[in-house]
Structure formats: structure tokens, C-alpha cells
Structure 1
């Protein structure tokens, strides 16, 4: 007589069997590590709201990258923290800007490391917005030329990938056209295609000194309530020339990651943002969560949802945990 129910637990009997049938795994090549580079020397300043995350001057950055490579991380993304800011974000596209100098130095010393450049104006403008401002309004089309200049200057400095994060309409088209005309047809674009106006960005704004001085970013970043709009944004970016698509944040938007993955055929990147990082750090420091188990479960959920890559501040510690378990 046949059994009236299924024995699903047979495949959960031991750790070795569970590993055999595991559908999703984390690999070192899945992870992109964010780094913040600032002006000065001998600076390694911890971000108060992001324990374990630092702002580095160029000399300290090189030491950090040595460790990153030794751990097995093969890709980083650079964010600049300049001293000087102005209304047009001049430092974002200056030949001697902090990101451009970091790119040259990193690629000269570590040519095999994939270095991604965040391409935006917000860290470099005195108003903290991602585009030009006129009479309190963020100007879309007028901002595109500055974003193109930024992308070209980063490619000239050695960026392997350009990652525009500004959410201006047409930014991928403008940057792709600009890169191609400047002779950088080979440089891919990792677009922040689906970037929500999220409450989870607070700690990043501490790290990058990029909080807006007035208003908010809701006229260009997406409404968290919208799902169909995400596919419109992502589809437009692919049509305009994006090679990767970022969904940001990740944890509260796993459904969006799956939608994008199911619909479009380019690699999908989940951005495990600063607020998601800080929540786990705070809970772990209070003894409320097992940090390792929680982080790994969180990142696996992003891959299970469809992410090909994960941009995460946890990357270094994750690789240490994976090495211990192997």
C-alpha cells in the first residue's frame, strides 16, 4: 500500500545531504564590496552608523584592497567623499577628483581587480541632490551632460564598469552615447535601474556625506509602493544600453528582483543597502540575532529571488565565514 503522504524530510537528514540538494549557494564571485575613499592621508574613519565600514584616504585604501583581494573578493565599487562641494558637483567629473585618483591608483597596483565607479553628483554637490537644481527643482535634461562627463572621466581613469545611480530619465542612453563617442565602447554600464526612495539609505548618507540639504529625492527615485513601474524603468535602461541592472534596496524588494530576473536577460545586481546592514549589526551587538546566520540567510534570499550578484558591506565577513565552513 502506498504511503498517503510524502517523506520530504528524507532530504534533510544530515548536513551532507542538505548540501547535496541545496538549490542556492553563495560564492566569492557573487559579491561586490563597496568602499568609501576620501581626501587626506592616514585616514581610516569608521562610519558611526555602520560598524566595520570606514572612509579611507588613498594610502589606507590600498592596504584595505590588499586584504579584500586576499579574501577572494574580485570586484569593488568606489564612492567618493570630497572636501570641496559646489552647485554643479565639479568634483564628480574633475580629472583629479577623489574617485578618479583612486581609480588610477587602484588599477595601477591591482590591474586584475574589477573596479566599478559609482556615477552620480550627490556626494559632490553642495545641495546633495543627484542633478542640477534650479529654483528648488531638480533639472533632468540639464543634468545629463554632467553625468556623461563624470562617466567619461571615470573610464579615462581606469574604471572597468560605470554604475550610474542618479535616476534621471535618459541617463543610460546619454552615458552610453558619451562613452562610445569617447572611445569607451568596451566599458559596461551597471545601471541603478530600479532605485526606490527608501528609508534604508540613512547610514550611507553618513558615510558619503550625501544627504540632501533640502527636500527629498522622491521626484526621481521610485515610490516604494510601485511594482509595475520597476519593470518599465528596467526595460528602458536595457533598451538604452545597460549591461547590468541594480535593484536597490534588496531585502524589502525581493519581489522586484524576481520580476526583473524573469523579464530581462541581463545580470541582476541586488544592492544590500546600508540600512539593511546597520539593522543586523545593531541587533547582533545587542545579542538579539546570530549575526552570521542572519547575514547568510539574508544574502541567500537575494540570490534565491534571482540576483546574479550582490553588492554588500558584509562581503569581507561573509568570505571569512564561507572559508571556515568549507
Structure 2
């Protein structure tokens, strides 16, 4: 019998050895919890397509933040669900819009919590697109002006990080210039640098009331078939001053995440999107998968692929499981 082969199983024999050499770890501070705040509601609303996710009434923010902080989570990304919409998304950049008021409350009540502001127009426009429409086309440069105004009001409200998600050309440069000119040079930009026109976004549109009322977003979000295009988007955003880079969605684009990590030295953020969340919730409800095991494996795959942070609706559950382990 020969013995000239490698015995890799030596390092897999016991739980303690496996733990000792584990390369990738999950911690509560890795997660950014998406928070939907709805204007004009007295009670939280269930998001039917996303079990365990709610549109939180502004008056209930205290209880929500208490739970988030109590679980050891350290950051949230705030989305607004306004009462009124119009062609230009005016509530997105109103000084007292639902996102701005929510940011003020959170930073006053729990100043240790890092608050990321989603900067887009789609929840606020009556047509559901991420910019201004002219002759049936999303007008890129006119949209940039409104997005910059939105970012400035969010920074003024106390946001720690601005996260523009609109995929207009030049949005990082335009927002960086506006923040600097208005006295916010130290507010970082977490760019949705790589955002595909994905079928995995459906449940989010229930939560944010942001479904486009006509057409789709393929003229500004990326083709899922393209890899090199992602490299061009990343290069542009870094040149324009992005401080973080988001890859969205995460699970079906781990190859893109790894390439983004290998070709940049800023923090990489995985967005574990609503469809990825809801599929697991549905399968777990039927008993087809072990929810804790599959969520843990999924989030580990994102960190292993290069993510430093993960935006995930699983954040609360994962924080509980980590406390138990």
C-alpha cells in the first residue's frame, strides 16, 4: 500500500479542528439591514412576498431600532415609502421627506447606528422609474440634478453614507460634487456600481411600492449576460470617487463579486436581494430546506467571493443564530 498522497481529511476530523482552520466568518457587524419606513401609516404593514419583512410606520421606529440594536446589528439602509408620488419624485429630495425624517430620528435615538441612505427616485415617481422621463425616455442628466439634491438632503438629515442606486451615468461624480459643495466632503458614497436588470427584484417592489408603471429598467440597469461591462462600471465609479462598491444581486453574480474584489481596493458590498430571500423563506416554510443552514451557507459564499459587507433581509435571523452558536 502506497502512502504518497495528501491526507486533507486530517484537518476535518473534529468540530474543533474545523473551527480552528475556518477561513471565512460571519459577524453581526457584517450585515446592513434594509429598513422600509412608510409615511402616513399608524401600523406596520406585512410585505406578503417577503415573510418577516415589514413596512415600518414612522411612529414605530423606536421599537424597530431597539430590536436591531439589541441583536447586535450596527447598520441599516433606509428606504422610504411616501404618501404622494409625482413625475419628478419630489418627496425624495424634500427636507422633511420620509427618509430624511427617519434618518433624523434614528441618528438622534441611536447615534451609534450607521445609517445608509438609499438615493433613488423610483419609490417617489408616479411612473416608478429611477429618473425623469422625457418623450418616453429616462433623461440621464436631468435626473442627476434631482439625485444630487436628494443626496444633499439626506446628508443634511444626518445620513452617515449615501448609497445611490439609480444607475444613471455619472451619478457618483455628480453626487460627490454636490456633497462637497454643500459642506459634506466627509460623507462617503456607497455606489450601486454593478446593478443588473434582474428578475430577482420582484418582492422588493412590493416592499418599496416601486414597480415601473410601463416598460422596464433594462435601458439603465445592466444585462445579466455581461461580465466585462461590470468592470467598466466599476472603473468609472472608482474614478468618480466611490468609497464602497455594491454588487447587486449577489447570489447569481458571485463571479462578478470576485472580479470586483480582485480589481479594486475599496470595501465591497453584496446586496442579497429580495428574490434570493423569499425563495429560501418559501422553501423553509414547506420544510424543503434547513433555513439556518442554507442562509449561513449563502452568506458565507458572498463573503468568500470577496464581500466585506452584506445588505440582507436575513440580518435579524442571522444575528440571532450567531448569538445562539
Q: Using structure 2 for the length normalisation, give the TM-score.
A: 0.99
Whole-angstrom distance in 2 between the partners of 1:85 and 1:304: 40
Residue 238 of structure 1 is matched in structure 2 by 238
Written as runs of structure 1 = structure 2, the 5 A alignment for 1:167-206 is 167-206=167-206
Whole-angstrom distance in 2 between the partners of 1:157 and 1:73: 21
Q: What's the CA shift string for 1:10-68, capped at 9, x where partnerless?
A: 11111111000101010111110000001124321110000000001112122111110
Residue 7 of structure 1 is matched in structure 2 by 7
Whole-angstrom distance in 2 between the partners of 1:106 and 1:202: 28
Residue 253 of structure 1 is matched in structure 2 by 253
Written as runs of structure 1 = structure 2, the 5 A alignment for 1:26-45 is 26-45=26-45
Residue 138 of structure 2 is matched in structure 1 by 138
User: SS at the partner of 2:51?
Assistant: strand
Whole-angstrom distance in 2 between the partners of 1:183 and 1:22: 44
Residue 123 of structure 2 is matched in structure 1 by 123
Shift of 1:245: 0.2
Whole-angstrom distance in 1 between the partners of 2:236 and 2:41: 42
Whole-angstrom distance in 1 between the partners of 2:64 and 2:316: 11
Whole-angstrom distance in 2 between the partners of 1:317 and 1:61: 19
Quick check: 2:281–2:291 contact (8 Å CA) kept in 1?
yes
Where do 5+ consecutive residues of structure 2 fail to align?
none
User: SS at the partner of 1:115?
Assistant: strand
Whole-angstrom distance in 2 between the partners of 1:190 and 1:223: 21
Q: Which aligned segments of 4 or more residues in structure 1 are displaced greater than 4 angstroms?
A: none
Residue 316 of structure 2 is matched in structure 1 by 316
Residue 95 of structure 1 is matched in structure 2 by 95
User: SS at the partner of 1:306?
Assistant: coil
Whole-angstrom distance in 2 between the partners of 1:107 and 1:43: 22
Whole-angstrom distance in 2 between the partners of 1:202 and 1:262: 30
Question: Is 1:297 the counterpart of 2:291 in the alignment?
Answer: no
Greater shift in the superposed pair: 61-70 or 241-250: 61-70
Whole-angstrom distance in 1 between the partners of 2:112 and 2:235: 31
User: SS at the partner of 1:52?
Assistant: coil
Q: What's the CA shift string for 1:250-286, capped at 9, x where partnerless?
A: 0000000000000011000000000000000000001
Whole-angstrom distance in 1 between the partners of 2:132 and 2:313: 29
Written as runs of structure 1 = structure 2, the 5 A alignment for 1:213-228 is 213-228=213-228
Whole-angstrom distance in 2 between the partners of 1:195 and 1:48: 25
User: SS at the partner of 1:148?
Assistant: helix
Shift of 1:2: 6.8
Residue 272 of structure 2 is matched in structure 1 by 272
Residue 67 of structure 1 is matched in structure 2 by 67
Whole-angstrom distance in 2 between the partners of 1:128 and 1:162: 21
User: SS at the partner of 1:127?
Assistant: coil
Residue 85 of structure 1 is matched in structure 2 by 85
User: SS at the partner of 2:56?
Assistant: strand
Q: Using structure 1 for the length normalisation, give the TM-score.
A: 0.99
Shift of 1:234: 0.8
What is the root-mean-square deviation of aligned Cα atoms in Å?
0.9
| Aligned positions, number | 325
Whole-angstrom distance in 1 between the partners of 2:248 and 2:41: 32
Where do 5+ consecutive residues of structure 1 fail to align?
none
Quick check: 2:40–2:83 contact (8 Å CA) kept in 1?
no
Q: What's the CA shift string for 1:65-108, capped at 9, x where partnerless?
A: 11100110000000000010000000000011000110111111
Q: What's the CA shift string for 1:173-214, capped at 9, x where partnerless?
A: 000000000000010000000000000000000000000000
